[in-house]
Structure 1
Amino acid sequence: MLVAVGLLISVAVAVHVEAKSRATPTPGACESSVTNCGTDKCLTFGRTTQVCTACANTHAPINGTCVAVADAAVTTAGCAKSDDATPDAGVCEKCGDAFVLFQGGCYPKDPATSLICATTSTDAGKCGTCKDGLIPNTAASATTDACDLCDSTCKTCSEKESETKCETCYEGYYFDSNTKTCTACPTNCAACTDANTCQTCKAGYLLGTGTCDACASGYLPDANNANCFSCSVENCVQASAANTCSKCGPAFFLSGSGTSATCGTCPTGCDQCDTDTNHQNCDTDKCSEGFFYTANSDTTKNYGTCTKCTVENCKTCSSTACTACKEGFGLVGDTAKTCTACSIKNCGICNDDVTKCTGCKAGFGPVKNGSAITACNQCSTGCESCLNLGLGLVCDVCSNSSQVPVDDECVDVNAKVCTKDPSSGSCASCLNGYMFYNGACLSPYKASSMGICSKDNQFLVGEALVCKECKAGFVPIDGTCTPIGDINKGTTRVAGDNVCMKADGTPVEKTATKCEACKDTNNNYFFFNGGCYPITLSSGTSVGSKLCSAATDGKCTAAATNAPFPLDTNTGTFTLCPAGCGQCTSNNNALTCTNCSIGYYNSASGSPFNCTACPSGCTVCTDATTCTTCWNGSGPDANGKCPDPPSSSSSGLSGGAIAGIVIAVLLVLGGLGGFLGWWFGCRGK
């Protein structure tokens, strides 16, 4: 038995049978076509549906779109404040009988037009069923949301024992019947049975032995993604045999057959042209960007024409007005709206006021003064978007969807470091001692050198590196340093839409560096070591879901299955494991190690574990000389050696030492010296 010498993390245990584990919405940046929505107030669910959750004060969200308060549509929807007054804060607090409330907006019950309801209901404020990515809220009313969010990876979910459980998954994920969660398939895989076995590949990739591979240059896949054929036909995207095109790209149509097949050009402004009229007209609503569709006067015909928008640099329009501008232009004007270039170079979104940039172009990241973007600087090579953390830009999404951002570089997926988000060129979670940050995985050194989290505040939960205290204005949410404004959304100092709190129950100050308590009316967050952790946000990949399965009043009430740290239900405390131990149990205040942390191996013959440091730079080893995984996710060289971690002068940490971080930061005795010695001193072995 190992005597517990760790600092105890106080978590008062309470019983609350009505606590529900719901996915917590995290609004973010809006697409360029969205107008009059507050900064970072757009919510995406169901994979492709984006709605505004809070508009400018003169507008209100009606079916996901910001509509002027004076517009009849707002009255028709019954959008009002809770006291029936006209909305004046950019949100609806209640809706009319034919509408339901969802995330600050009113949505029609009619499934033909609603973005929320899949089927209707006669009950006030309720949908019969909800659209993909949502689950009906049994407590729904005119003033309470009709639907709750499923986990972001779940296509459909249900409620069982007060928790939401996945039932079906989106493409690129597989269903785990034991945990009722959805887990990412291998890269470029559309359907799989587990994390290593692909059944069907995404378009353009071929199924190998459980993996998906792209066709070589000059070759195209067939319709079943089973073969690659040499094909030189211009604008062809799919072939049925050598030099036999079977499908053309957007704005082109297949003409002829066999080896004589070519790709003809559709009418100007048409992405998909009609076969019934010899490709002289456009299929319904298949116009290119900058064109609008006009249906045929004969309503039995499923084709029409595409006409160029009259406003220069307009992205989408009707026959009378521009509705959204192309990237780099803002839609300005009261009636005769025009597209005017954004004032800031490389700004992508600047609606209403072209001097105020709300989002940079792809490949550029924002430089901010407070919340205002003052410049858009270029991201690293191959990076689609990047974040400015005060000490420079860090890539968070790669242009090539088969790559992921690791330490500000877009690299091929390494499953030992990054669990890839199959829908984008980013990570869903990080392993092997890397820290997750907004879709990127950062080594301990990078997280420290970029000012995200200093080495003294880093610690491990399983293989995930998390932070217990951030720089001013940021607080740990699920172990990631998050801007306070992104988690505390209340407009006053009272505990409303705020999660990260002070010990006295009021929201933390704007300059805070950590949380002292957590408050969440949905009982989704619990307090742990300076941060607030969700129990269901990205379940299976979030740190919080691996620690806790139920929470009440900001406190964990039940430890998750296989949680690394024991939760004492009598005192309500998590007890951290001793140095080198990644998982332990507790009995009468004595700890027994049941699994070693990364960077350590069990030198005992069985249990209890005796955790001994791996060779320098190694995170997974079987003994003192045999390494299988290095600190950067690579394997050792021919001599069994790992590459050196970043130098000590760079304030970094990694490998076996990283495993000791959890104790270096938190243990009162013993762990600090051993941990620092490993990282800064052992590389010369």
Structure 2
Amino acid sequence: CSEVGSTAGQCETCADGYFRNSNASPTSDSCLECDPTCLTCSAAGESGCKSCKDGYFLGATINTAGKCIKCDNVDDTNWKGVVGCLKCTTSGAANTPATCTECQADRYLKAKVGDTAETCETKETCTGGYFPKDESTGGNKCVKCSDTDNGGIADCAKCSLVTSSTRAGVAVTCTECGSGKKLSPLKDACLTACPAGTYDSSNVCTPCHTSCAECNSNANQDSCTACYPGSVLNKTDSLNTGTCIPECTGRYAENCEANQCTAVLGGSKYCSRCKSGFVPVDGLCVSSGTTRAPPAGCTPGTDGTCSACTDTYFKESGGCYLSTAYPGKTLCSQASNGQCSQCANGQTQNNGIYPACDPTCATCETGKSQECKTCFSGYYFDVTNKVCKKCSENSADGKIQGVENCVSCAPPASSGTVTCYVTQTPTVNR
């Protein structure tokens, strides 16, 4: 009895597990015991339950009495539970399964999707866009791969579990991204674009050769289309591909005046003044030719430089560079009549002249050359200080730590170590 009434010797309100005897009197029981499955009831027997104990649900419509059915019982004619369910609530409607809230110890609760009811999956069946997550309280979960609140990866469509040496215990690895995103080379993120040192292969960021900042859809050393700062593209049989070699070496050093490898494009140095009879075009010293047959893009001067540029070439540090090819396109994205008409660094050109950003910036704030917006390959953007730092270097305030030998990376959200995608020595990336 939980409340004594005004009539002596009689209970007015019965405790859970009991119901009031309609024939109660001072000499008879006021409260009678419910069926063992009932939490509360209005009558004796299994059909008199109003609410159920944990592990059961009420097989009755709203505000009516009925029997309590085990949460995992799927054999009842009208009221069905869920296989492997430990705790649940009633749906309140016949022929509609109970709502499972917690599964048995060896099962994983998969949330309702559309018209599909909650289910209790085994570890082996929690797949196809889901992964099993063990919980110490509240029951295990079958979690959607994209559920970041439960350890998933944003925009991940399919995933699996792997044992990680750096992330405690078992970690989620994405195997396929959704929403048109690209799968990170570490398989730990879905990206808008593939990072430096990788190429997009059916929405999977696949490694180039370690020397390439960009490449032509394979990992061959001679398939580079862009290089990391400090290296230059030694083109082979086309305007676009080649191998990456150290700046100011090989063909890029031939016929260059001593100490004149000083032009900086894309973070790498090129010849700015050539020896007599040569001029710098796309960073190489080429023959100055004749008045009638000058080299493509360049009007030769008399001092080993180009006095002017032609067509879709533009002038930079004594040389002429093609705006549609590397490395020229790192500075100018469009040129005509020998002048740059659209700067690649985000600045506004003036009569073919474009304001320079800090050498580490790919783009910078308008009128603020020292405030980077994006970085060249091999650098990460320190958003707090608006500067670009090498992937191997720490930020000035020490909040971001670089990774030794790293040449392609992404900064942490606020502080911590950069995510390294590519190293140029054989070290493990994760």
TM-score range, shorter chain: 0.3 to 0.5
Q: Normalising to structure 2: TM-score of the pair?
A: 0.38
Query: Could you say which structure has the larger radius of gyration?
Result: 2
Identify the structure with the greater helix proportion. 1
RCO comparison, higher one (Cα < 8 Å, 6+): 1
